[in-house]
């Protein structure tokens, strides 16, 4: 047979055509119409007959070319059905269109089926109103394929679970056709055992759903956008010329001077919209959204067998009847139950390779998802056009956040350079490094540690000044105001995007209309109603109450408490490691080993913390999802919000607990020489370095932040997808060796997209950025370079996420949203918390307040000379407890009588020796006063910034008002036109009536028909 033609045997007139006949040949439905017609007419007849069948008898009419070729009928007895071009795959653009090359594929459903080893079989379509005689027919193999069953042979084994899935698919797809969608099946793919259902939404369905969803569409009316004048116009033109090299080369990014007026689509007002090109009026993003809404609300309630474990033939009629009452088993339930394995819209085409047609995906890959354009602005409007508003808002927020990090990074670098420039002028660090002071410090541990010189900690003291200087206080205030400015700037940017994307009238209530219950929720409701029905109780309008969810709430509470306790236990274990390791290293006989004890212990402990944080982050993410699933939230929005709250709480505690310990607890509960605090009666609590704990806090923060960004955010996001892609490639390569001829064909678009990773939501993307925002703001007083490292990471992160969305993930369903949701409240909360934490870091962790107190209360000459000696207390070595004195008291070469330690206590020669001195209370009072003043002052300044910057830019509010006025004018003109037309009709009617009355009575009697026709004129019009 010629491969460019398809031939079928002409069937006799008495062939049993009809809905109950076995008419499906591997997805090929034969119709009783005469097939000797043009291909276009045949397609029209297929669609017409298909839409007129009852719901129970509707199926999917597909012409599968390869399946028909495999039938093997004689060419002499066949009739020409259709003539195809040389490459049918090219005609349908390799899966982007139906086989006719005209209808675009808007959505794909994927399912698994089992192929028999004997070859493809004829699967019959079973209807629930079939007679018993028809229902006993067995499946027959294709002619020329497999072996025919003889009369006496036993019935083949049937997988009832797979059969049940097939019946559900048939019913569901029939309901989709009844809803107006057009379907086409393809099981002849390169992926073994996987079938695809292509879905196309015709024009009338798109119009109906757009009206139901209240989608704003551009009208014919265009208006001028208000432009700046005078000096502002010149400034804007200069800025545009300067920034032109960093603008993406896409049409959507160019500044617009005119804008189309948008209005919610209405079929009654189609004349308002520009429908000159119907194919592009609804873009691919909108079409897939509309189809997804139909998929969610289309029900599937019937099945031949139960959806349980698929064992036996007995129907569970009670369960099926309840499912019919529920009537809410859409695509989410079918995906959860494995009836379909995937559902997704298609990408617009290939993004790389030769002779690739221009498409939005290719443009995004070149101008957005490439590391070579890292210096350019993002084409946010094109991102929104391709992925939808929700993903567009995420990347817009990430871009604004990254831009705002530039001034914060510059100020942080200046603060760091100021510390470097003044380190040689810092009197306290100079005193610590001066060996002439000959200050002997008390041992850092019992017995094995000996006395040591303060000058040995010179390097730590000088490094501490880089981050602990007066400029860090200014930087903390600056970052608090920066956070408030960033939030206000984002709100204004968000309003601009809402105006540009026609979301100004969009409300969340509109989304709630189409927020369908989740499959798991409906399954729980069904289970509850079945229990009540078993007890003979009323089961109408069942829903889950707090009593039903109480075990889940209790599990959530206990689980979160346990996870938080586990985090604290791990941090406590690291503390034990630090103490024991410090004691072990102190036994070292080499002086170099003893001098580097503190650095070695700190570095290794931070690395351990980093590894634990990365591992627990993944574990806590899975646990948070599981805890949310057992709660059974009703809608996807509720599920997402609860998941975000739990995941953020656990990951926040996990990431910041080690930092909180170093900042606020380390060195606070040590005790004093002769009366130290011990853990397990053997480990002494660790102390801060003589220069304070701020340097150690800086090391902890920098290593955790940089390591988390490098390993978790970038390495995992690059490495794991590459590894999964490699595994899929190896599997496909193994299959190619088995079926080389099948795999020589070019893959269809839906096959290529099926091999991509499914979209898992934006929660992981937001979460890593929120945790980073916490590193940038919460402890910025101890690490001024945090904004710089965040900026460098985000420049890579934007392009990395873009590349992942464009090349590694299936295309997500576009979701409308006017803001970033709960993440904005989390950001505001972190901004407020940052003010409090930075106040305590400056006050209690750094030496800023003790220096001020000494400078203004105790200094004799108004300088910092003598500050180090003022912060050290004295201890008589004869007061050591038994067994705690150094084993080698002569390690320094002389006998020590008095050693020093950092604290505000009375000297040993005082009456109340070793008691807390008055200086301690003076410094504590100053610290608390600073916290109160700093917190209230910065909070007031932040609120003032919030108040002084309007949420809606003035020009945007004017444009929104202008749009409303123009829309009113459009409708007023339309009403005036209707009134004028009505008045014209009335005038014509009046004139006709007068003309008829002027006739003679005879004439009027003889022409009564004419008179009646005069009065009927307006009606005819």
- Could you report the per-residue pLDDT of 520-558, keeping only the tens digit for each? 777 777 777 777 766 655 555 667 777 878 888 999 999
557: helix, coil or strand? helix
The pLDDT of residue 640 is 86
Exposed/middle/buried for 367, CB within 10 Å: 0-12, 13-18, 19+? buried
State how far the Cα of 305 lies from the Cα of 315, in Å rounded to an integer.
5
User: In angstroms, how far is CA 657 from the centroid of its own chain?
Assistant: 26
Answer for the pair 22, 140: CB distance below 8 angstroms, yes or no: yes
Whole-prediction pTM = 0.80
Compute CA distances 99 → 24, 170, 284, 331, 873, whole Å. Answer: 18, 21, 19, 25, 89
Percent helix, strand and coil across the chain, each to the nearest 5: 60, 10, 35
Tens of pLDDT along 705-753? Answer: 888 888 876 777 777 777 777 777 777 666 655 555 555 566 788 888 8
DSSP string, 229-274: -THHHHHHHHHHHHHGGGS-S-GGGS--SEEEEEEE--GGGGGGB-
Can you tell me which residue has the tokens 């409708």?
971
Strand partners of residue 873: 901
What is the CB neighbour count within 10 angstroms for residue 730? 10
Q: What is the mean predicted confidence (pLDDT) over 174-191?
A: 86
Which strand (E) or helix (H) includes residue 224? strand 216-224
Could you give the maximum distance between any two Cα atoms of the chain, in Å? Answer: 148
Spatial distance between the Cα atoms of 904 and 358, rounded to a whole number of angstroms: 74
Residue 952's pLDDT is what? 85
Q: How far apart are CA 368 and CA 386, in angstroms?
A: 12
Q: Where are the beta strands (DSSP E) in 70-208?
A: 78-83, 107-112, 121-122, 140-141, 182-186, 194-200
Q: Helix, strand, or coil here: 657?
A: helix
- Residue 852's H or E segment, with its range, is helix 848-853
Q: Three-state SS for 78? A: strand
Which residues have C-beta within 8 Å of that of residue 742, sequence separation ≥ 6? Answer: 190
Q: Which residues of 233-262 are buried (b: 16+ CB within 10 A; e: fewer)?
A: eeeeeeeeeeeeeeebebebbeeeeebbbb
d(C-alpha 872, C-alpha 900), whole Å: 6
Q: What percent of the chain has pLDDT over 70?
A: 75
Which value, in Å, is the radius of gyration of the alpha carbons in the chain? 38
Highest mean pLDDT out of 34-38, 544-548, 849-853: 849-853
How many angstroms separate the CA atoms of 923 and 474, rounded?
A: 21
| pLDDT value of residue 978 | 80
Helix axes 597-631, 636-660, angle to 10 degrees: 160
274-330 pLDDT tens trace: 888 888 889 889 999 999 989 988 877 654 444 444 443 344 444 444 444 444 567
Mean pLDDT throughout 892-908?
87
Of 333, 342, 344, 346, the residue nearest 171 (C-alpha): 333
Q: Is 50 exceeded by the pLDDT of residue 818?
A: yes
Nearest to 686 by CA among 709, 668, 704: 668
pLDDT digits (tens, 9 = 90+) for 745-791: 667 888 888 888 888 889 888 998 999 999 999 888 888 999 999 99
Q: How many CB atoms lie within 10 A of CB 71?
A: 19
Alpha-carbon distance of 637 to 635, in angstroms, equals 5
pLDDT value of residue 93: 62
Neighbour order of strands in the sheet with 872-876: 452-453, 440-441, 898-902, 872-876
Band (pLDDT 50/70/90 cuts) for residue 998 is: low
Strands (E), 10-165: 78-83, 107-112, 121-122, 140-141
For residue range 220-254, list pLDDT tens digits in order.
888 877 776 778 778 878 888 888 888 888 876 66
Residue 376 · residue 246 · CB < 8 Å = yes
pLDDT band at 49 (very low <50, low <70, confident <90, very high): very low
Residue entry with tokens 């794909």: 108
pLDDT on residue 534: 65
Q: Is 574 helix (H, G, I), strand (E, B) or coil?
A: helix
Q: What is the DSSP string of 465-503?
A: HHHSSHHHHHHHHHHHHHHHHHHHHHHHHHHHHHHHTT-
Q: CA end-to-end span of the chain, whole Å?
A: 60
Tell me the pLDDT of the chain averaged across its residues.
76
Q: What is the pLDDT of residues 381-411, one digit of tens each?
A: 999 999 999 999 999 999 999 999 999 999 9
Q: What is the pLDDT of residue 679?
A: 79
The residue whose two tokens read 């009419």 is 61
pLDDT for the residue 325: 43
- pLDDT value, residue 158: 54
Can you read off the two tokens belonging to residue 658? 């080690």
**Rounded Cα gap, residues 765 and 769, in angstroms:** 7
In tens, the pLDDT along 120-154 reads 433 333 333 333 333 333 333 323 333 333 333 44
The pLDDT, as a whole number, for residue 92 is: 60
Q: Are 28 and 67 in contact (CB under 8 A)?
A: yes
CB 238 within 8 A of CB 358: no
Mean pLDDT of 845-852: 88
Do 788 and 409 contact (CB within 8 A), yes or no?
yes
Range with lowest mean pLDDT among 209-218, 441-450, 688-697: 688-697
- Position 507 confidence tier, pLDDT thresholds 50, 70, 90: low
**Bridge partner list, 905:** 916
| pLDDT at residue 74 is higher than 90 | no
What 8-state DSSP symbol labels residue 347?
P
Which of 263, 178, 181 is closest to 214 using CA atoms? 263
CA distance 907 to 861: 24
Distance CA 92, CA 99 (A): 6
pLDDT tens-digit profile of 652-686? Answer: 999 899 889 888 888 888 888 888 888 777 777 87
C-alpha distances out from residue 387 to 106, 109, 393, 1003, Å: 14, 19, 10, 73
Most confident of 366-375, 538-547, 594-603: 366-375
The more confidently predicted of residues 55 and 356 is: 356
Angle at 294 between CA 288 and CA 300, to 5 degrees: 135
- Give the number of other CB atoms < 10 A from CB of residue 330: 22
- The 3-state DSSP class for residue 170 equals helix
Between residues 814 and 598, the one the model is more confident about: 814
């Amino acid at each position: 047979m010629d491969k460019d033609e398809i031939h079928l045997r002409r069937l006799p007139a008495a062939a049993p055509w009809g809905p109950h006949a076995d008419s499906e040949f591997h997805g090929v439905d034969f119709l009783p119409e005469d097939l000797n017609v043009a291909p276009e007419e045949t397609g029209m007849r297929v669609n017409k007959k298909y839409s007129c069948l009852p719901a129970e008898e509707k199926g999917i009419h597909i012409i599968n070319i390869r399946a028909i070729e495999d039938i093997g009928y004689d060419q002499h007895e066949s009739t020409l059905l259709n003539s195809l071009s040389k490459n049918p795959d090219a005609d349908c653009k390799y899966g982007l269109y139906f086989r006719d090359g005209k209808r675009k594929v808007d959505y794909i459903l994927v399912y698994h089926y089992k192929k028999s080893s004997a070859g493809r079989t004829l699967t019959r379509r079973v209807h629930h109103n079939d007679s018993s005689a028809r229902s006993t027919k067995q499946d027959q193999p294709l002619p020329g394929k497999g072996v025919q069953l003889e009369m006496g042979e036993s019935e083949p084994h049937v997988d009832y679970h797979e059969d049940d899935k097939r019946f559900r698919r048939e019913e569901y797809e029939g309901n989709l056709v009844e809803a107006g969608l057009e379907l086409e099946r393809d099981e002849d793919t390169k992926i073994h055992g996987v079938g695809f259902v292509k879905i196309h939404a015709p024009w009338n369905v798109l119009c109906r759903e757009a009206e139901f969803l209240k989608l704003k569409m551009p009208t014919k009316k265009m208006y001028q956008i208000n432009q700046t004048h005078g000096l502002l116009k010149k400034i804007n033109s200069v800025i545009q010329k300067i920034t032109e090299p960093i603008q993406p080369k896409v049409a959507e990014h160019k500044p617009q001077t005119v804008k189309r007026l948008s209005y919610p689509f209405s079929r009654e007002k189609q004349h308002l919209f520009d429908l000159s090109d119907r194919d592009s009026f609804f873009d691919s993003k909108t079409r897939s959204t509309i189809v997804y809404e139909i998929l969610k609300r289309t029900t599937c309630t019937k099945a031949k067998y139960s959806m349980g474990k698929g064992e036996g033939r007995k129907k569970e009629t009670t369960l099926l009847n309840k499912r019919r009452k529920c009537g809410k088993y859409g695509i989410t339930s079918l995906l959860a139950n494995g009836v379909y394995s995937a559902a997704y819209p298609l990408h617009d085409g290939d993004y790389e390779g030769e002779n690739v047609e221009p498409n939005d995906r290719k443009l995004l890959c070149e101008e957005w998802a490439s590391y070579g354009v890292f210096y350019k602005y993002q084409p946010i409007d094109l991102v929104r056009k391709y992925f939808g508003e929700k993903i567009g808002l995420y990347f817009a927020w990430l871009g604004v956040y990254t831009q705002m990090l530039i001034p914060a990074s510059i100020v942080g670098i200046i603060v760091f350079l100021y510390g470097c420039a003044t380190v040689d002028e810092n009197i306290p660090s100079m005193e610590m490094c001066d060996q002439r002071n000959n200050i002997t410090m008390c041992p850092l541990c019992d017995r094995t540690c000996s006395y040591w010189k303060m000058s040995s900690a010179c390097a730590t003291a000088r490094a501490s000044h880089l981050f602990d200087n007066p400029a860090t206080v200014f930087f903390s205030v600056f970052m608090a105001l920066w956070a408030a400015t960033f939030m206000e700037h984002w709100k204004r940017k968000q309003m601009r995007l809402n105006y540009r994307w026609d979301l100004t009238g969009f409300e969340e209530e509109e989304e709630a209309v189409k927020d369908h219950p989740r499959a798991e929720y409906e399954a729980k409701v069904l289970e509850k109603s079945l229990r009540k029905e078993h007890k003979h109780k009323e089961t109408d309008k069942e829903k889950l109450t707090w009593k039903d969810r109480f075990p889940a709430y209790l599990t959530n509470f206990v689980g979160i408490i346990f996870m938080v306790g586990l985090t604290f236990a791990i941090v406590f274990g690291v503390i034990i490691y630090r103490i024991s390791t410090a004691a072990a290293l102190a036994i070292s006989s080499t002086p170099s080993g003893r001098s580097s004890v503190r650095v070695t212990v700190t570095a290794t402990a931070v690395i351990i913390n980093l590894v634990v944080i990365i591992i627990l982050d993944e574990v806590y993410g899975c646990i948070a999802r599981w805890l949310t699933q057992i709660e059974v939230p009703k809608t996807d929005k509720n599920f997402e919000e609860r998941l975000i709250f739990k995941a953020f709480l656990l990951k926040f505690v996990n990431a910041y607990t080690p930092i909180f310990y170093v900042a606020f607890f380390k060195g606070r509960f040590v005790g004093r020489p002769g009366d130290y605090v011990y853990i397990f009666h053997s480990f002494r609590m660790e102390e801060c370095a003589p220069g304070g704990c701020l340097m150690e806090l800086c090391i902890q923060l920098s290593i955790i932040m940089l390591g988390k960004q490098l390993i978790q955010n970038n390495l995992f996001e690059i490495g794991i997808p590459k590894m999964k892609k490699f595994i899929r490639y190896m599997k496909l390569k193994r299959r190619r060796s088995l079926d080389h001829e099948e795999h020589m064909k070019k893959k269809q678009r839906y096959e290529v997209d099926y091999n991509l990773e499914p979209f898992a939501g934006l929660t992981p993307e937001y979460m890593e950025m929120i945790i980073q925002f916490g590193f940038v703001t919460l402890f910025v007083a101890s690490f001024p370079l945090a904004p710089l490292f965040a900026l460098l990471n985000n420049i890579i992160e934007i392009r990395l996420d873009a590349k992942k969305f464009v090349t590694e993930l299936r295309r997500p369903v576009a979701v409308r949203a006017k803001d970033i949701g709960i993440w904005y409240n989390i950001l505001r909360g972190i901004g407020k918390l940052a003010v409090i934490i930075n106040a305590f870091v400056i006050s209690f962790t750094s030496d800023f307040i003790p220096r001020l107190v000494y400078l203004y209360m105790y200094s004799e000459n108004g300088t910092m000379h003598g500050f180090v000696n003022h912060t050290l207390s004295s201890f008589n070595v004869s007061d050591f407890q038994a067994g705690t004195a150094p084993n080698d008291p002569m390690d320094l070469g002389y006998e020590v009588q008095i050693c020093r330690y950092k604290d505000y206590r009375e000297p040993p020669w005082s009456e109340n020796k070793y008691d807390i001195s008055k200086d301690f209370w003076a410094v504590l009072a100053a610290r608390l006063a600073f916290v109160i003043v700093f917190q209230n002052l910065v909070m007031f300044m932040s609120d003032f910034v919030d108040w002084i910057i309007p949420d809606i830019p003035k020009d945007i509010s004017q444009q929104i008002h202008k749009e409303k006025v123009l829309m009113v004018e459009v409708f007023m003109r339309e009403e005036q036109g209707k009134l004028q037309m009505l008045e014209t009709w009335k005038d014509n009617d009046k004139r006709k009536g007068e003309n008829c009355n002027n006739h003679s009575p005879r004439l009027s009697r003889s022409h009564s028909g004419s008179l009646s026709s005069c009065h009927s004129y307006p009606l005819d019009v």
